[in-house]
């Protein structure tokens, strides 16, 4: 029998700050999805940003500071553009709002 992994989803959830855990729990209840699925969805949406950050940090660590700084500036510009994008709310059905 293989040993249990140390970082099970449950332990990861319990290690979150209380307010973040409660917010994820509220979203989970409102969307009727498990908390792990909410976290997975959020992280998958952020994967391109995380990938970009990893590249920039690797460049900085390798001494390529100019490239890393250009990457940070690009990422900051993209983030500011993203603030102007209006998000569509989830499909709320009247029947779910009454219950």
pTM of the model as a whole = 0.55
Q: Evaluate whether residue 54 is within a structural domain.
A: yes
Q: Evaluate whether residue 52 is within a structural domain.
A: yes
pLDDT(27) > 90:
yes
Q: Evaluate whether residue 19 is within a structural domain.
A: yes
- On average, the pLDDT of the chain sits at 77
Q: What is the pLDDT of residues 43-88, one digit of tens each?
A: 888 888 888 889 988 988 898 888 888 888 887 777 666 655 544 4
Domain assignment of residue 27, given as a range: 14-84
Q: Evaluate whether residue 96 is within a structural domain.
A: no
Q: Evaluate whether residue 37 is within a structural domain.
A: yes
Number of domains in the chain: 1
| 90 Cβ contact partners less than 8 Å away, ≥ 6 residues apart | 31
b/e for 10-30, b at 16 or more Cβ within 10 A?
Answer: eeeeeeeeeeeeeebeebbee
Angle, to 10 degrees, between the axis of helix 35-61 and the axis of helix 18-31?
130
Q: Evaluate whether residue 63 is within a structural domain.
A: yes
Q: Evaluate whether residue 8 is within a structural domain.
A: no
pLDDT(37) > 70:
yes
Query: Does residue 31 contact residue 38 with C-beta atoms inside 8 Å?
Result: yes
């Amino acid at each position: 029998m293989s040993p249990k992994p140390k970082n099970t989803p449950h332990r990861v959830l319990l290690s979150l700050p209380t307010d973040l855990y409660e917010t994820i729990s509220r979203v989970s209840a409102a969307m009727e999805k498990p908390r792990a699925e909410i976290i997975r969805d959020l992280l998958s949406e952020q994967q391109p940003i995380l990938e970009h950050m990893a590249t920039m940090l690797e460049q900085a660590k390798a001494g390529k500071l100019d490239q890393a700084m250009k990457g940070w500036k690009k990422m900051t510009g993209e983030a500011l553009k993203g603030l102007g994008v209006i998000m569509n709310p989830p499909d709320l059905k009247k029947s779910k709002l009454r219950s």
